[in-house]
Amino acid sequence: MGETTFRQGVCAYCGNIGEVTDDHIVPRCLWPGRVRKDVPIVDACRPCNHIWKSEYDTYLRDILVNDMACAKNHIAQKVREKYYRAAKNNRSIMARDLNERAGLVGLQEDSGLVSGFALTLPDAVKRNQVIMPLIVRGLHLYYLRTALPKDTSFKVGRVIEREKMQELIREMNENGGGYQNIGTGDVFQFAFWPRPGDPYPQVWVLNFYRCIRFVVAIRASILWETNSSLIYYNTLISKSGI
């Protein structure tokens, strides 16, 4: 840590004006070694950055690296060592939640048969409803140069079925969106596109470790400039050659 140089600015997450510091939109702890240099950084106030977002960042790491979808992903499994260390020293809030409140669910095959059991954690679902919108707020500000209005509402969902993902990729292609990698994209990549005429007119896909995908649809009472944003975004995509 140590780089707490404060300056005056607007917090990317809560919109408050005051002393701000650098915050990595995609949590640094998701990388096994040093964080990639191209992880976008925004201004965040002290409570957002150092108090509650850092707690959510770690929680997100622990959710992701323990997810069955990442069981064979070597990067996620390397990061999982951080979780083990934290859990052993009783510093992982997720590990504590898991002990106290996890439930067992049957894993259903396409045939309808239950092939195994997994733990689910209601706390993790609630946490995702907070952290995913924060990441989208940060990305929106960084890449589209506009802050989402304070009253923006977010619909967060996890994409599990392959068919659903294919449907989304089709929709993305039709609406001029595209994937943008941070680093090689092995830890994080994202896409966004407009959904014209939908009550939630903009969609973001956040892809962690190329195996866990969240869809975040957004709307706000004030209409922000979706179209000009998209033009800017397309320039960005073509520049990075994706």
Chain contacts with Zn ion (rule: CB under 5 A): 11, 13-14, 45, 48
Minimum CB separation from Zn ion for residue 208, in Å? 23
Instruction: Tell me whether residue 48 or residue 86 sits nearer to Zn ion (CB atom).
Output: 48
Minimum CB separation from Zn ion for residue 58, in Å? 18
Rg (CA), the chain: 18
Listed residue (49, 50, 54, 79) closest to 64, CA to CA: 79
Helix/strand/coil for 105: strand
Minimum CB separation from Zn ion for residue 32, in Å? 28
Overall size of the chain counted in residues: 242
Tokens linked to 205: 């896909």
Minimum CB separation from Zn ion for residue 220, in Å? 18
Minimum CB separation from Zn ion for residue 49, in Å? 7
Instruction: Tell me whether residue 12 or residue 95 sits nearer to Zn ion (CB atom).
Output: 12
Q: How far is CA 77 from CA 59, 94, 155, in A?
A: 16, 17, 29
CB atoms within 10 A of CB 120: 13
CB-based burial label for 203 (10 Å; 0-12, 13-18, 19+): buried
Instruction: Tell me whether residue 53 or residue 127 sits nearer to Zn ion (CB atom).
Output: 53
Instruction: Tell me whether residue 25 or residue 87 sits nearer to Zn ion (CB atom).
Output: 25
Instruction: Tell me whether residue 45 or residue 95 sits nearer to Zn ion (CB atom).
Output: 45
CB-based burial label for 220 (10 Å; 0-12, 13-18, 19+): middle
